[in-house]
Amino acid sequence: MAGTVLSLVLTLLGLLLVTFIIGRVMPIDPVLKVVGDRASQAQYDAAYQAMGLDKPLYIQFIGYIGDVLGGDFGRSISTGQLVIDDIKRVFPATLELAALGTLIGVCAGVPLGVIAAARRGGIIDQVARVVALVGYSMPIFWLGLMGLLLFYGILGWVGGPGRQGIIYDGMLPSVTGLVLVDSLLARDWAAFKDAFSHIILPASLLGYFSLAYISRMTRSFMLEQLSAEYITTARVKGLSETAVIWRHAFRNIAIPLVTVIALSFGSLLEGSVLTEIIFSWPGLGQYITKSLLAGDMNAVLGGTVVVGTCFIALNLLSDLLYRVLDPRSK
Amino acid sequence: MKHLLTPRALLLASAIALAPAAYAETPADTLVVAAAIDDIISLDPAQTFEFSGNDVNNNTYDRLVDFDPLDMDKGFQPSLAESWEVSEDGLSITFTIRDGVTFHSGNPVRAEDAAWSLQRVVKLNKTPAFILTQFGFTPENVEEKITFDGNKLTLTLDQPYAPTFVLNCLTADVASVIDKETVMSHAEGDDLGNTWLNTNEAGSGAFTLAAWQPNQAVQLAAYEDYWQGAPAMKRIVVRNVAESSAQRLLLEKGDIDAARNLTPTDVESLSSTDGVKIQDEPRGRILYMGLNQKDELLSNPAVIEAMKYLVDYEGITNSFLKGMFMTHQSFLPKGYLGALEEQPWTYDVEKAKQILADAGIEGGTITTKVRDLREYVDVAQALQASMAQAGLTLNIEQMTGAQVLDAYRAREVPIFLGEWGPDYSDPNTNAATFAYNPDNSDEARATGLLAWRNAYAVPEEMNEATVAATLEQDGEKRAQMYMDIQRQYQAEAPIVPLFQRIENTGLQENVQNWNSGGAVASVIYRQVTKGE
């Protein structure tokens, strides 16, 4: 276990180093972002030094890691605020969206995959194939806009862009930063309903993309199991098809499925940038992208630490679940 | 089979999950604005230099002089200063501070606060400080040059500048008057409260800053004790919505009152939408074509002349820039003192060919860099097509704004296509960058001057005329001087102003007196009302 943790820490360090180098070799001048186009040379030089850019790269990087270990992620140049505060603000927005998106993806994708495998070549299988194909090939930007136009613009079923309606914005005491949870804690049903109506569309959109992936994976795992000998044995014993599929085969695909779901959740946690932009969702994906384009290294690295840590945590978690679920590992 | 989830069950479940929610209009006393506000870095007036940041500060702070939001053409008006006097020699201006005005903290607004605020800008020396330091203030001398006595504030200048020049600069947000006591109670080290003011506000304006969540929203609340009367709107919510189509949807649904970043397509469709109106305001930004004089071909006077006839002004403003830009061929935007409205050039390929032929130029190839912003790329491609007709080849490399800016500041963009926004409401703001370049050498590193960036060696008499115009005491004469400079500029300069930006704000029908700030200022909310 200690070895695992050490290798994970090294992974994270490597990730940071690569990010740092990419950020520094990108042809973007972070100083200009801070002082603006009208700054004099003297003002420019002062900011250049204040940002520590006059030091060699490796010194900058070591200094950064040292600060991070001391809990200091520095200040973002594009928001003027502490990176840690920025992340506290944007990460819950992404977490909430990703969690709901994954939930939708799992609840719809797993049964769809199972049924598609059980009735191979049947109508459901064809539907699942089309659903997955569309999910892989449809530009999310277009789909998101169309979704907004239909469900918000024409039908008025859901809330518009943003996390909350204007009247609730900034009115809710922030406990967890997750609006759905906060409104429940405050027993404010109207605010909860409002928040739900705003999150459901982007979450469904992300859910759809994760559904496409999860259902395909489920189907192929399931087909593999259904052709196994023990299934034939079970059928010969006269077990009902339902029992064969859910009790026997499904139990065995649960383990690899956990990994698939964890990966899918992790990729949503990076923040689906385009979704966040279309829905004016103030999340991590938007934050990291904007920061990168501004050469705002503190913010990019801070965001990278969060995403990296999440991935590592998810990996550990799926390893643990593997051990718990897989009888052979006992 | 019955135990399996059927498609119908799935559909039913999702229909329940998507149960309709009820929507109301925006509250009657709240103005809700959708805009791209992710450019805010700081809200300290001594540092803020982004559009959206100025939009906030313009409403939370007052200045010594300000514009009347209901009549911008009157120019600067008394605000925290009720009157002022210029000394005989023109070297000092003394302001009398209005009585009975309070900051949001309840502290009285004193001449001391005003003096300290201006001194602070010079001492902190952040980017917009040049708007004040151009009058000869330095961190070392500013305490002697900006002084107060009782309710009087005196600025002592290094030269007898035009009073209009000084006062125009004092309308800029960098000249906001700040609550000294409040800010100094939050000072850290020698930062004069800069860290605290980056995210807080200490002004006397019509609104207080209720909240700012970067990339998300800015909320303002009415200041009930405002000296010109409490504003009608009790709350202003500015939401960060980057996408034009999303802004349009929000406006159509009645979830917002104003949309500030609509594309021509969305403006077009909204203009036929019931209950919504479009307000057009010329702003101060000029889209221009800079021909780099380091390029052998582009430094040929015949090519410079021909290029002016190769822009399809009318075609462009009637198609992809429709409603976003209007043709404007001089460097002072319409709405500025001395702005020249003459348009000497039209689209005329034959004439351009003739000019090139007379000069013996038989074609040529230019490769340039253009920012990947749709308007600029469209203009570049239109130019590419018309240049081709005149035998000139233009290759376009698209890049991010930051990359193009870096290259431009290093004098490495052959044909620059982009905008220049004025920094303050005086004609000198553009004259001093388009028509002033005392040292054209690479070593000068005058990166702030457009003339230098395009390696344009401004003729000596034009440099002198630009300086002289800042010293002319008579407003009428001063306007005339700027017109003369612009005419000479049109005749010979390799930097060619093409279009002036028009802001199209989408508004609910009941929103009255919206003001984006015109050509000279930032947005002003205090006069906005909502009818039935």
d(CA A160, CA B246): 8
B-contacting residues of A 203-262, CB under 8 Å? 204, 242, 246
Tell me: do B229 and B346 sit in the same domain.
Answer: no
Q: Is the pLDDT of residue A194 over 80?
A: yes
Domain identity same for B497 and B518 = no
User: In this complex, is the C-beta atom of A132 within 8 Å of any C-beta atom belonging to chain B?
Assistant: no
- Please check the confidence at residue B16 and state whether its pLDDT lies above 70: no
Q: How many domains does chain B have?
A: 2
Cβ B235 vs Cβ B7: under 8 Å = no
CATH, residue B145: 3.40.190.10
Both tokens assigned to B11: 């559909």
- Could you tell me if residue B315 is inside a domain? yes
User: CB of B42 within 8 A of CB of B56?
Assistant: no
Domain holding B169, by residue range, is: 7-256+509-530
User: What average pLDDT score do residues B93-111 get?
Assistant: 97
With cut-offs at 50, 70 and 90, classify the pLDDT of residue A1.
low
Which amino acid, residue B221? A
pLDDT mean over B134-158: 97
Place of tokens 């233009």: B394
Number of residues written out for chain B: 532
In a domain, B276, yes or no: no
pLDDT at A15 over 60: yes
Q: Which residue of B has its CA nearest to A29?
A: B402
Q: Tell whether B466 and B515 lie within a shared domain.
A: no
Does B335 lie in the same domain as B217? Answer: no
Average pLDDT over residues B154-162: 96
A37 and B3 in contact by Cβ < 8 A? no
Nearest to residue A297, comparing CAs of A4, A11, A9, A34?
A: A34
* Backbone phi and psi for residue B499, each to the nearest 5 degrees, phi listed first: -140, 155
% residues pLDDT > 70 (chain B): 95
pLDDT, position A330: 54
Kindly state whether residues B75 and B218 are assigned to the same domain: yes
A119 min Cα distance to partner chain B (Å)? 10
Q: Is residue B51 a part of any domain in this protein?
A: yes
Q: What is the pLDDT of residues B432-445, one digit of tens each?
A: 999 999 999 999 98
In-domain check, residue B402: yes
Mean pLDDT across A139-167: 85
User: What's the token pair of residue B231?
Assistant: 């504003």
Residues on chain B touching A42 (C-beta within 8 angstroms): 125
- Which residues in B lie closer than 8 A to residue A165 (C-beta atoms)? 23, 255
B220 vs A254: which has the higher pLDDT: B220
User: Please, what is the Cα angle at A161 between A160 and A166, to 5 degrees?
Assistant: 75
Write out pLDDT tens, residues B67-98: 999 999 999 999 999 999 999 999 999 999 99
Asked, for residue B273, whether it belongs to a domain, the answer is no
Is A4 part of the contact surface with chain B (CB cutoff 8 Å)? no
Closest CA to A311 of A58, A98, A113: A98
Judge whether B205 lies within some domain. Answer: yes
Quick check: is B272 in a domain? no
For residue B429, give the chain A residue with the closest CA: A38
Residues B211, B468 contacting (CB under 8 angstroms): no
In chain A, % of residues over pLDDT 90: 10
User: Looking at the structure, do residues B55 and B151 belong to the same domain, yes or no?
Assistant: yes
Q: Is the pLDDT of residue B9 over 50?
A: no
Given a contact cutoff of 8 angstroms between Cβ atoms, the answer to whether A114 and A288 are in contact is no
pLDDT score of B239? 92
* Same-domain pairing of B189 and B311: no
Q: Would you list the DSSP string of B287-355?
A: EEEEE-TTSTTTTSHHHHHHHTTSS-HHHHHHTTTTTTEEE--SSSPTTSTT----------HHHHHHH
Shared domain for B135 and B175, answered yes or no, is: yes
What is the model's pLDDT at position A242?
78
Cα–Cα distances in Å, from A298 out to A59, A72, B144, B494? Answer: 15, 10, 40, 41
Are the beta carbons of A166 and B237 separated by less than 8 Å? yes
Q: Are residue B386 and residue B251 in the same domain, yes or no?
A: no
Closest by Cβ to B20, choosing from A115, A157, A194: A157
Closest residue, chain B, to A150 (C-alpha): B249
Contact: B423, A38; criterion CB under 8 Å: yes
Same domain, B386 and B495: yes
B52: which chain A residues are within 8 Å (Cβ-Cβ)? none
One-letter amino acid at B448 equals G
Q: What is the mean predicted confidence (pLDDT) over B227-246?
A: 93
Contact A38 B240 (CB under 8 A): no
Closest residue by Cα to residue B115 from B84, B145, B88, B92: B145
Chain A hits for B239, CB-CB cut-off 8 Å, are 162, 166, 169, 280
What is the phi/psi pair of residue B211, to 5°? -165, 145
pLDDT tens per residue across span A69-105 = 888 888 888 888 889 999 988 999 999 999 999 999 9
Question: Which residue from A124, A169, A277 is facing B242, i.e. has the nearest CB?
Answer: A277
Q: In angstroms, rounded to a whole number, what is the distance separating the alpha carbons of residues B510 and B507? A: 8
Give the mean pLDDT of chain A: 84
B448 → chain A, closest CA residue: A38
Check residue A327 and give its pLDDT. Answer: 66
- CA dist., res. B230 & res. B527, Å (int): 10
Rounded to an integer, the average pLDDT of A110-128 is 86
Averaged pLDDT for residues B303-323:
95
- Cross-strand partners of B152: B96, B149
- Residue B154, domain member (yes or no): yes
Is the pLDDT score of A109 beyond 60? yes
For residue A319, the SS3 value is helix
Most A CBs within 10 A among B30, B40, B127, B416, hence the mutation to make, goes to: B127
Query: Distance from A66 to chain B by nearest Cα, in Å?
Result: 23
The angle at the Cα of B481, spanning B475 to B482, to the nearest 5 degrees, equals 95
Least confident range of A162-166, B281-285, B340-344, B347-351: A162-166
pLDDT at residue A257 greater than cutoff 80: yes
Give residue A60's pLDDT. Answer: 87
pLDDT band at A246 (very low <50, low <70, confident <90, very high): confident
Please report which confidence band the pLDDT of residue B498 belongs to, taking 50, 70 and 90 as the band edges. very high
Would you call A127 helix, strand, or coil by DSSP? helix
Structure tokens at A280: 């004016």
Contact A38 B130 (CB under 8 A): yes
Over pLDDT 90: what percentage of chain B?
86
Integer Cα distance of B14 and B201 in angstroms: 46
Residue A104's contacts (CB-CB under 8 Å, 6 or more residues apart) are: A203, A204, A206, A207, A208, A210, A211
Q: For A139-161, give the DSSP string.
A: -HHHHHHHHIIIIIIIS--S--S
User: Which two three-digit tokens encode residue A171?
Assistant: 């009115």
Partnered with residue B217 across adjacent β-strands are B213, B239
Residues B393 and B495 in one domain: yes
Chain B closest-CA separation from residue A59 CA (Å): 25
Closest partner residue to A157 among B18, B213, B255, by Cβ?
Answer: B18
Residues B521 and B463 in one domain: no
Kindly report the nearest CA distance between residue B9 and chain A, in angstroms.
Answer: 11
Which residue of B214, B239, B246 is in closest CB contact with A81? B214
